[in-house]
Copies of this chain bind each other. A is one copy, B any other.
Amino acid sequence: MSETAGPVWDEAAIREFCRVTRAAGRALAKAGPTARRRAIDEAAGLLLSAPVRDRILLANQADMAAAQRPKGDGGREGEALSAAMLDRLRLDEGRLDKMAAALSEVAALPDPVGEIEKTWRRPNGLRIARQRIPLGVILIIYESRPNVTTDAGALCIRSGNAAILRGGSEAQRSNAALIEVVAEGLRRAGLPFQAVALCPSTDRQVMATLLLQDTYIDLVIPRGGEGLIRFVAEHSRIPVIKHYRGNCHVYVEKTADVQMALSICYNAKVQRPGVCNAAETILIDRELAPSFLPQLADRLGQAGVELRGDPAAREIVPSMKVATDEDFHAEFLDLVCAVGVVDGLSAAVAHIEHYGSDHTEAIVTTDLRQAQRFTDQVNSSCVVVNASTRFADGGELGLGAEIGISTTRLHAYGPMGAEQLTTTKYVILGDGQIRP
**Chain A interface residues (CB < 8 Å from chain B):** 26, 29-30, 114, 120, 122, 126, 128, 131, 133-136, 218-219, 233-234, 237, 239, 257, 260, 263-264, 266-268, 271-272, 353, 371, 375-377, 379-388, 390-392, 396-398, 408-415, 423-435
Q: Name 16 extra pairs, CB < 8 A, besides A135-B409, A239-B411.
A: A26-B353, A30-B376, A133-B379, A135-B410, A136-B409, A218-B408, A260-B431, A382-B425, A383-B428, A384-B428, A384-B430, A385-B430, A387-B433, A392-B426, A396-B435, A411-B411
Report B-chain residues with C-beta under 8 Å of the C-beta of A387.
126, 428-434
Report B-chain residues with C-beta under 8 Å of the C-beta of A264.
432, 434
CB distance from A198 to the nearest CB of B (A): 24
Q: Which of B375, B415, B423, B428 meets A397, CB within 8 Å?
A: B428
Q: Are B410 and A426 in contact (CB under 8 A)?
A: no
Mostly, the A contact residues are: mixed
Report B-chain residues with C-beta under 8 Å of the C-beta of A391.
126, 428, 430, 433, 435
When all copies of this chain in the complex are counted, the total is 2
Report B-chain residues with C-beta under 8 Å of the C-beta of A427.
375, 383, 385
CB distance from A251 to the nearest CB of B (A): 14
Smallest CB gap from A386: residue in B? B430
A381 to B131 Cα, complex, angstroms: 10
Q: Given contacts A353-B26, A414-B426, A434-B267, are A398 and B114 in contact (CB under 8 A)?
A: no
Smallest CB gap from A366: residue in B? B431
Report B-chain residues with C-beta under 8 Å of the C-beta of A114.
376
Q: Are B431 and A388 in contact (CB under 8 A)?
A: no
CB distance from A232 to the nearest CB of B (A): 12
Smallest CB gap from A128: residue in B? B397
Report B-chain residues with C-beta under 8 Å of the C-beta of A136.
409
A268 to B428 Cα, complex, angstroms: 14
CB distance from A140 to the nearest CB of B (A): 15
CB distance from A357 to the nearest CB of B (A): 12
6 contacts between A and B (CB under 8 A): A239-B411, A387-B431, A391-B433, A410-B410, A411-B411, A412-B423
Q: Are A432 and B386 in contact (CB under 8 A)?
A: yes
Report B-chain residues with C-beta under 8 Å of the C-beta of A430.
384-387, 391
Report B-chain residues with C-beta under 8 Å of the C-beta of A388.
433-435
CB distance from A90 to the nearest CB of B (A): 25
Q: Are A425 and B414 in contact (CB under 8 A)?
A: yes
Q: Which of B134, B398, B408, B434 meets A128, CB within 8 Å?
A: B398
Report B-chain residues with C-beta under 8 Å of the C-beta of A413.
423-425
Report B-chain residues with C-beta under 8 Å of the C-beta of A385.
427-430
A268 to B430 Cα, complex, angstroms: 14
Report B-chain residues with C-beta under 8 Å of the C-beta of A390.
434-435
Q: Given contacts A126-B387, A423-B410, are A432 and B398 in contact (CB under 8 A)?
A: no
Q: Are B411 and A410 in contact (CB under 8 A)?
A: yes
Interface centre among A353, A376, A415 (most CB of B within 10 A): A376
A232 to B324 Cα, complex, angstroms: 39
A391 to B434 Cα, complex, angstroms: 8
Q: Are A397 and B122 in contact (CB under 8 A)?
A: yes
Report B-chain residues with C-beta under 8 Å of the C-beta of A271.
434-435
CB distance from A28 to the nearest CB of B (A): 12
A382 to B130 Cα, complex, angstroms: 9
CB distance from A248 to the nearest CB of B (A): 12
Smallest CB gap from A136: residue in B? B409
Ranked nearest first, the 9 interchain pairs of A and B with the lowest CB-CB distance are A387-B430, A267-B434, A411-B411, A387-B433, A239-B410, A390-B435, A260-B432, A409-B423, A384-B428
A426 to B272 Cα, complex, angstroms: 21
Q: Given contacts A128-B397, A408-B218, A409-B135, are A381 and B267 in contact (CB under 8 A)?
A: no
Report B-chain residues with C-beta under 8 Å of the C-beta of A26.
353
Report B-chain residues with C-beta under 8 Å of the C-beta of A131.
375
Q: Are A429 and B397 in contact (CB under 8 A)?
A: no
A71 to B280 Cα, complex, angstroms: 60
